[in-house]
Amino acid sequence: MAERVLLLSLADLSAPSGGREMLGRINLILLHDLLGDRLVHIRPRHAKSPLREAWRGHINGIDTALIADLLTTIADRGITQMVIDGSNFGAAIAVVKSRAPHVRIITIFHNVEARFFWGAFQARRSAKSFAVLAANYLAERKAVRHSDVLVTLSARDSAGLRRLYGRAADTVAPMVLADTTSFVTATSSSRQAYALFVGGAFYANIAGIDWFARVVAPQIGLRVMVVGRGMDVLAQRFAGNDRVTLVGGVDDLSPWYADAALVIAPIFDGSGMKTKVAEALMHGKHVVGTPEAFSGYADDVVATNRCCADANAFVRAIDASLASPPPRYDPAMRALYERDHSPSAARARLARILRIPNQTSDA
């Protein structure tokens, strides 16, 4: 009998997605492509768990019924490997490893969650944000202790696991992004070029673009367009800033990338990898960003773009880009995406991790 693989994931192909959800969806698609009906996907019925359950590490919809379902599926379907899409499922991992030790458990980390939620707690201190931090730490610690294979997005995250939990990742598999480009021709004759910021309303995005709008935007010769769901929370702060336009959420990012002179990524905190850099490469764009924004990306990605640690560096980098403009679509940037961050690259990595052939399943 061909071995079957169980996937525990919140991925929902019908729901709109941001960075984390996007990665979960593409993992689901690629695993199905590799395994066909040998993949069994269990999705928690609820994305959240009651607070009383969180202190047991039962978060992201984990509860006793779901754990029982996992154990029954493993026994009935002959599961030999289990892929966990997120380290916050640690409570389930611990029980499965105890009750079904023969199952090889592979946990894919989207971030070092304890580090991510520490940053969120620092940004907004409250009893609730501390409880979320503590619950994720407890769950993640169980994931590290009881998984057979730990997969992180970057070497930095691997080092973070070692510092926090005493164990580094077994393999690094960088950010993957589904190719959504429509290769729209730039319409610069009708729209003035601009610097583009893309990102949803999570704390590091808000802090980063707020800083850029106040400190950098007044010093550069480009308008700044801010595109992303939920970013209307900044409307009041940006009301008097004629250098920055708050666009909000859009259905198609391609036209916004097409007209952009460059992409900015002023991110100073977080964990994992920043989706916005891979997305810019996918659209053939050059990026001006912080060391945090480029964390986890290959050395040649950093070398061929512009890495800036402070406001003066951002101003110099943008001035230099305006003096010698990069192509609106650079095939060299696109090639970096295809090499490291495309679905085909990610599929090959998943096949190696699962120890299966990298070919489409006929099942």
- Residue 161 exposed, middle or buried by CB count within 10 Å (0-12, 13-18, 19+): buried
Quickly list DSSP for 68-108: HHHHHHHHHHTEEEEEEESGGGHHHHHHHHHH-TTSEEEEE
pLDDT in tens, 88-142: 999 999 999 999 999 999 999 998 988 888 888 888 889 888 888 888 899 999 9
Average the pLDDT over 249-260 and give the result: 93
What b/e string do you get for 192-219 counting C-beta neighbours within 10 Å, with b at 16 or more?
A: ebbbbbbbbbbbbbbbbbbbbbeebbee
CATH assignment of 194-340, among 3.90.1150.10, 3.40.50.2000, 1.10.357.10, 3.30.1490.190: 3.40.50.2000
pLDDT at position 61: 79
Q: How confident is the model at residue 16 (pLDDT cuts 50, 70, 90)?
A: low
Residue 254 near residue 283 (C-beta atoms within 8 A): yes
Please check whether the domain covering 4-178+342-354 is classified as CATH 3.40.50.2000: yes
Residue 274 near residue 226 (C-beta atoms within 8 A): no
Residue 353 near residue 346 (C-beta atoms within 8 A): no
Q: Where are the domains of the chain?
A: 4-178+342-354, 194-340
Contacts of 211 (CB under 8 A, 6+ apart): 266, 268
Residue 236 near residue 258 (C-beta atoms within 8 A): no
Nearest CA among 251, 190, 261 for reference residue 225: 261
Average the pLDDT over 343-363 and give the result: 89
| 219 pLDDT above the threshold of 70 | yes
The pTM (predicted TM-score) of the whole model is 0.86
Extract the tokens encoding 87. Answer: 């380290």
pLDDT at position 220: 96
- In this chain, the answer to whether the domains covering 4-178+342-354 and 194-340 adopt an identical fold is yes
Of the ranges 125-134, 151-160, 272-281, 338-347, which one carries the lowest mean pLDDT score? 125-134
